[in-house]
Amino acid sequence: MPVNKERYQEIVKELNSTNTKLVAVSKTKSVEDIKELYDLGQRDFGENYVQELTEKAEHLPKDIRWHFIGHLQSNKVKFIAPFVNLIHVVDSLKLLKEINKQAVKNNRVIDCLLQIHIAKEETKFGLDEKELNEIMNQFENLKMNNAGLTGMMGMASFTENREVVRNEFRYLKALFDKHELRTLSMGMSSDYKIAIEEGSNMVRIGSLIFGERAN
Ligand SMILES: *Cc1c(COP(=O)(O)O)cnc(C)c1O
């Protein structure tokens, strides 16, 4: 499926008018597809798998800002630490410590978002409010100078019921507002409009722009 350039331009316009950042989710999509969007000016891309990301990054321009949005195992952090721009999926202190350690090794700061569990589904990863507060406290005590905690990320339930989705985003926005953070990553192809209405400032959109994924 080809990149939907018209749709992309429309979305960019829409997001600019609300000051929302677009992460173009390119998992399973080719280097050529990514390059097409890059040539239209897109610089923020999101990937879900470590090996896929490192392979693609090697063949693409160095000014791309790569976002890691898939589940991340601590032992894989070292592969993306040299270049990743923002890790959206921090769901444990162990992972955060490893990110800080690898950032030190690479002499850089790696910004992170805490992934919050907001959906009803058991399968979705993320922290509850208590775990969130524990990590925030520990983060201050442990002085992890090379990991930045800059925001939160959440995924709403996979449902047609827009009110359920809206309430989950609203809950996350309320949590986000309790802390002095910059980035609220919520909203995907199916629900980004609701997410923006509920206060998101970063959306992660894949299939609307790149076409459906073959899986
Ligand atoms: C795949 C993915 C997206 C993009 O999903 P689309 O429905 O294709 O927009 C966004 N966020 C996460 C965490 C994803 O895994």
* Distances 5 to 38, 55, 57, 88, 146 between C-alpha atoms, Å: 11, 24, 22, 26, 37
Pocket perturbation via mutation, ligand 1, pick of 22, 25, 125 by most ligand atoms within 8 A of CB: 25
Ligand 1 atom closest to residue 69's alpha carbon, by position in its atom list: 13
Give 180 Cα–ligand 1 centroid separation in angstroms. Answer: 26
Q: Is the CB of 64 under 6 A from ligand 1?
A: no
Condensed to tens digits (0 to 9), the pLDDT of residues 59-94 reads 999 999 999 999 999 999 999 999 999 999 999 999
Q: Is the CB of 204 under 6 A from ligand 1?
A: yes
Task: Tell me which long-range contacts 175-183 makes (C-beta under 8 A, separation of at least 24).
Answer: 175/116, 175/129, 175/132, 176/151, 176/152, 179/136, 179/152, 181/149, 181/150, 181/151, 181/152, 182/150, 182/151, 183/21, 183/86, 183/113, 183/150, 183/151, 183/152
pLDDT at 122 over 90: no
Share of the chain above pLDDT 70, in %: 98
Residue-level length of the chain: 215
Confidence class of residue 161 from pLDDT cuts 50, 70 and 90?
very high
CA-wise closest residue to 161 among 126, 197, 124, 120: 120
Place of tokens 């910059």: 182
pLDDT value at residue 215: 60
Cα separation, 4 vs 99, in Å, equals 35
Q: Where are the alpha helices (DSSP H) in the chain?
A: 5-16, 31-39, 50-58, 77-80, 93-105, 129-142, 162-177, 192-197, 207-210
Q: Is the pTM of this model over 0.85?
A: yes
Pocket perturbation via mutation, ligand 1, pick of 44, 66, 69 by most ligand atoms within 8 A of CB: 69
pLDDT value at residue 125: 82
Cα separation, 37 vs 16, in Å, equals 17
